[in-house]
Amino acid sequence: MVFGSSLFRCTTTPSKSAAPFALPDLWPERRDEARAQVGVLVYQGVTTAEIDDPVRKLADGIEADVVHIGAAAEPVVGVEPVRTVHVTLTTSDHAALRNDVLVIPGGLGWERLVDDIALMSWVADASKAAGGVLAISTGSLILASAGRLVGHAATGHWLARDVLAALGAQVHTGRTAQSEDHRTVTAAGAQSAIEAAAELAERVRWGPA
């Protein structure tokens, strides 16, 4: 691994302490007859736009519960836009490795995250165990820092392409890229992640072509 910085569905209800203009909190989602689990890595400074619509699209496609996985069992504050994200599981929970799809959003906190050796070890293990992986924007750098993009086609935030290449990825400049086995998909941002989520859901649901 390479480390270093450089439906029953829960509703989105604002916390009681939220200001009147605050956006609703992001909660995990559960449905009555879920067939799968989508795990989302969340952390301080995560980009909430990369959790909201892309994850919903993915979860709907495979009829999955959504769990938010964090280093600690406490809410985190995301950005772009600012929203509180509630954590379902911690990385020490066994259930945090039982993901049909692992989603790794980007965010302002990615550099701090990749300096956490224990967390990077979890990312490596969780991405190996999942049936599919979707990394978005600087989330690609998190996945690459765990050694999971070496030799694979990948994209991400346009300002981070040099770092992505230095971490061993074969950088593509398109909106999305995927590994040869189609298990790992990277997206440049939230909008391209929505498109990628629909395709990844089909692959995970029906298996490789």
Residue boundaries of the structural domains of the chain: 36-206
> Going by CATH, does the domain composed of 36-206 fall within 2.70.70.10?
no
d(CA 101, CA 65): 11
d(CA 8, CA 178): 32
Residue 10: predicted pLDDT: 39
d(CA 63, CA 76): 26
What confidence tens digit (pLDDT) does each residue in 137-174 have? Answer: 999 999 999 999 999 999 999 888 999 999 999 999 99
d(CA 45, CA 81): 10
Regions of the chain short of the pLDDT cut 50: 3, 5-18
H runs (alpha helix) in the chain: 52-62, 110-114, 117-129, 139-145, 161-166, 190-206
Q: What is the pTM of this model?
A: 0.88
CA-nearest of 147, 176, 195, 164 to 1 is: 147
Q: Judging by DSSP bridges, how do beta strands 76-78 and 176-178 pair with one another?
A: unpaired
Does residue 124 contact residue 160 with C-beta atoms inside 8 Å?
no
